[in-house]
Amino acid sequence: MAATIAILDDDHINRLIRYALAGPGEVTQEWATHFFMPEHVDMARVDALGHGLKDRVDLLPMTTDVRKGTQAEILIFRRGTIDAALMDANPKLKLIQRIGERAEMIDLEAAKARGIAVSCLPRPSLQYTAEHALLLMLALAKKLIVADDAVRNDRWDRARVFPEGGVAYNWAGIAGIGGLYGATVGIVGLGEVGAMAAKMANGFGARVVYCNRTRLTAEREAQYGVSYLPLPELLAQADFVSMHASNLPENKGMIDAAFFAQMKKTAFFVNTSRGRMVDEQALRDALAGGTIAGAGLDVHATEPRPMPNIFAGLANVILTPHLAGGARASIVDEVAPVFGNCGAVVGGGELKFRVA
């Protein structure tokens, strides 16, 4: 007998899962192919994710309102709250599968009381995104692009350099070189990626402060090594401001001229979240006018960036083409355990990444 699967929320990861489970339909083959471009991915790899499951599961339509109740035995989700009421509305649930390793949005006690297994899938792409935020911070603080250009293009003043024993420290004479050790890193939005970035920054010996729509518990703050500050205080104290806020409609343009005016003139702004949250003209003005020291952008208001690029002439900005999460092709392997867990529910077997 087939097992019924419901997917709570609709985003690009869950659409790919839906396509691999059901084939072309609500999610078209064109969408699935375009999802990976311009990388080349053999779509047979995506089809193989659902091998052995397509004839053994029924996938509920996108329009299904899970909170109103279904006969689903497996619930897959990435964002949202899974509480006792939702579980009771779906009384046949055997597995709650989260795409992400944090479990605090799931009522684990309620799941345990109802005999529902819970799995939370770690996502390397989120770790890579947090790494990229730290990469941009370090590259800005250590003047990486300027330093590379100086060495590559022989830009240095020979009259001011006196090597000793074949050693000439900072022969390009680059000023203002710093790092993360002893610096204050401000995290705006302490979701999964923000929490990962906070832990990494702690590892460099930085002080980490954060602001969030909802303040974390003292236990969580201790776990992540962070201290809470309201946004104005965070901006006034941080040497690096790293954006990790949710891509919500109300957050569009939240990073504006007033935001940058509250930052230290020596501070750097980093965005690996979503470009639409930043007023890019305000950022350009802040960079050109010395309101802030520099910026690292992996995400952009319009992607690919339109030409002419308003940041192209600025030496104090580092730009990458929305690649912080790594290769799109790697997502195929990242989500593969979800299909293994669905198979375990249908045919028996051990669940991976089980937390309850």
Catalytic residue among 102, 284, 322, 328: 322
Question: Which helix H or strand E contains 187, and what residues bound it?
Answer: strand 184-188
Long-range contacts (CB closer than 8 Å, 24 or more residues apart) made by 10-13: 10/62, 11/78, 11/79, 13/78, 13/99, 13/331, 13/335
Question: Which helix H or strand E contains 76, and what residues bound it?
Answer: strand 74-77
Active site residue 322: yes
Catalytic residue among 244, 274, 276, 305: 274
With CA atoms as reference, report the closest residue to 141 among 309, 293, 1, 290: 293
Active site residue 274: yes
Which tokens belong to 155? 């830009």
Contact 286, 260 (CB under 8 A): yes
Residues counted in the chain: 356
Active site residue 39: no
DSSP string, 235-292: HHH-SEEEE-----GGGTT-B-HHHHHTS-TT-EEEE-S-GGGB-HHHHHHHHHTTSS
End-to-end, the C-alpha distance of the chain in Å comes to 26
By annotation, the residues acting in catalysis are: 274, 303, 322
